[in-house]
Chains A and B, each alone.
Chain A
Amino acid sequence: MVEAVRQAVSLLFPLDGNLSQIILLTIYVSGSAVTLAALMGVPAGTWLGLQPAAKVRWLQRIIYTLMGLPPVVGGLIVYMLLSRRGFLGPLELLFTPTAMIIAQLLLTLPIVIGLTSVAVRTKGKEVVDTLLSLGAERKLLLWTIMKESRYGILGAIIAGFGRAVAEVGAVIMVGGNIEGQTRVMTTAIVLEVRKGEFAFAMALGIILLAISFAINAGLYKLQAGGRDD
């Protein structure tokens, strides 16, 4: 472990060229996937959370099930879609960062939708009734509900980011772990373990955790409204 920490520090100071590329690609892929998941999932989850529970119970159950979608299954679906004979084959996206983003989006979107819907539903009908009786029209009502549920929604995005950045099965399947092109932190760790470079793999793991901590700290600060309490 000490050796791993020592190696992690030596990799970071000065920053190795290959490693910086891997770090940047990791942030790019997971950041893009989570941003897209937030843009799609927050409005969808808000809508879901505002529906009567009985009306959307099956949809809610499907979303909850997809929240636990095994990454390899998600990767397989995206692989089949993007492969030469797949529906999106002509786009030639397989083994590109875009394919990895799509795979991570598939895994994070249900998490953002599901947890956002819970956050909105928890706020309750009382808030909706209050806004309606204050004269809020539909757009203003939805916007206010999202603002009122912002702590829960940011929690959903944090959970989505955690899922994306820690994911390996899907990205290795659709990205291929190609050096300099589709290698991210998790796939690099898998490779180093296979080579028997456990200390180096652990060093990469420590760096991945540090990146994850830094991003989550920022999101947490945002969630707490800029306060650290």
Chain B
Amino acid sequence: MTNSSIIRISKLSKQYGNKEVLRVEEVALRRGYITGIIGPSGAGKSTLLRILNLLEPPSSGDIFYYDRKIPADKAEIMALRRKMTMVFQKSVLLEMSVYDNLAYGLRARKLPRAEIEKRVDTILETIGLSGQRKQRAKTLSGGEAQRLAFARAVVLRPEILFLDEPTANLDPANVELLERLVVQLNQDYGTTVLVVTHNLFQAQRITRETIFFCQGELVETGATEQIFTAPRCEQTDAFVRGKMIY
């Protein structure tokens, strides 16, 4: 365990029935880094994100957050959960207004009303939805909806942000906006970001470290530049060169 790691995974395994879908021997996420997870579909990337976001338990192995194992106490789990959040590939907006969607997590954290309004108004401005603050979120277009889902996580100023293919199916302008938001959040608040992406250019643009997964196993991890220019494993090399791996 290094002082700079915020999450450490040790001998982690996830099985559905008899099938092992994820196996990670040892990996640490650096505090304040944007780390990318790349790999073919079905490699276990999203499953890892869900486990790290405490949405499902691993079958075996340990995860350490801030040098500590996952606590048993419910209040401590909630406190830990509120230090992180996740943007899903398929965003789910709640049946309420754009404003209330953004304020939901802040209200759950019982922040003062003035602080909530200030943060929500600022983020609405940033994502260009100020004019739609009272509009029902379900009536937004696909791009607007994903921007809102993204902003709903960013407005919480989490210590750890998990992103599961957050820009899939978005146009270049929206992709640029969301990437800018991630980098800004990382720089302004030191947020550690773990982003699953199929967009290799995006991984190179915004991440400092990259983890490569294949068939449920962590194959290689390292600085993004090294992974894309001088990978140590043949599988990684084939993947970053655009060759399919199964």
Contacts and interface: CB of A to CB of B under 8 A. Distances in A.
A129 B109 contact: no
A130 interface: yes
Query: Size range of the interface on A?
Result: 10 to 19
Best-surrounded residue of A129, A148, A150 (most CB of chain B within 10 A): A129
Contact of A135 (B55, B85, B90, B95): B85
B88 A134 contact: no
B133 interface: no
A147 B95 contact: yes
B55 A137 contact: no
A127 interface: yes
A126 B92 CA distance: 7
B81 interface: yes
Given A140-B108, A147-B95, A148-B95, A133 B90 contact: no
Interface string B114-158: 000000000000000000000000000000000000001100100
Interface residues of B, number: 23
Nearest to A128: B55
B92 A135 contact: no
Contacts of A135: 78, 81-82, 85, 105, 108-109, 156
A212 interface: no
A133 B86 contact: yes
Contacts of A126: 88, 90, 92
Contacts of A134: 85, 104-105, 108, 152-153, 156
A140 B81 CA distance: 15
Contacts of A148: 94-95
17 contacts: A126-B88, A127-B94, A129-B86, A129-B92, A130-B88, A132-B81, A133-B55, A133-B81, A134-B105, A134-B108, A134-B152, A134-B156, A135-B78, A136-B104, A137-B78, A137-B108, A148-B95
Interface of A: 126-127, 129-130, 132-137, 140, 144, 147-148, 150
